[in-house]
Amino acid sequence: MSFRSLHGRGRVLPGRGPGRRPAAALVLLLLVTGATACGGGDTTDTAKDLGRVPIPSAPAAPVVPTASAGHAQIVAMGDAVHLDLGTGQAQVTATGPDLEVTGPSAGGAPPEQSKGTVTVVLRVPDGSRQLDAGTVSAADELGHPLQLTPDAPTVTAVPGHDAVLHLAGTFAAGHATLTLNDAGKPLATWDFEIELD
């Protein structure tokens, strides 16, 4: 029985016929062979790599921003800032404030303010450099200046002996900044939050 007699007509329908089945198998074989040849024969390695995004690793040491005249830095309280002062290099860090009151008294409302102390540390690799208390200022979240009382008017840093300056003041709950100035212009600013609740 031939294909023609099966359908009762003298023509072959498009896409059908005895020669189409081997042709379709040949196309399928070529596609499979071509896909494995392009991928080196093992598609499991390619599948594992799909969607993989490289994630950079963290630096071995924290990056310390550099401040210089005309190029001030703003950082979080506790972060160090490298100072390039033209006449020498230094690193300065501010921490605190260490507050006397850190929360409400038993059964009481949270305090609105607390006395506290910020600490500024200046470190030099060579030579000496003075840290003058008059070059450090603080402001509350509205930009109003905060009165700071230093434990010394000036401290001096030399290699192996950091200059440590303690500044006492009253800090209101909320946002505040501490700024180290050079020739009346900001050099480094530390941003911090006073939480008393």
- Distance, CA of 109 to CA of 23 (rounded, Å): 86
- Distance, CA of 129 to CA of 152 (rounded, Å): 15
> Model confidence over 163-187: pLDDT tens digits?
999 999 999 999 999 999 998 899 9
What ranges do the domains of the chain cover?
Answer: 3-49, 66-194
Locate 105 and state its tokens. 């008294």
Greater confidence (1 vs 153) lies with 153
> Model confidence over 102-121: pLDDT tens digits?
666 777 788 888 999 999 99
Residue 4, pLDDT > 50, answer no
Locate 16 and state its tokens. 């059908």
> Model confidence over 122-148: pLDDT tens digits?
999 999 999 999 999 999 999 999 999
Q: Is 55 left (phi over 0), alpha (psi -120 to 50) or beta?
A: beta
- Give the residue from 145, 123, 143, 120 showing the smallest Cα distance to 133: 120
Model pTM above 0.85: no
The torsion angle over the Cα atoms of residues 194, 179, 146 and 76, rounded to 10 degrees, is 0
> Pairing relation of β-strands 145-146 and 80-84?
unpaired
pLDDT for 108 equals: 78
What mean pLDDT is reported for the chain? 82
CATH of the structural domain 66-194, one choice from 3.30.2270.10, 2.60.40.1240, 1.10.3720.10, 3.40.50.970: 2.60.40.1240
State the pLDDT confidence band at 24, using cuts at 50, 70 and 90.
low
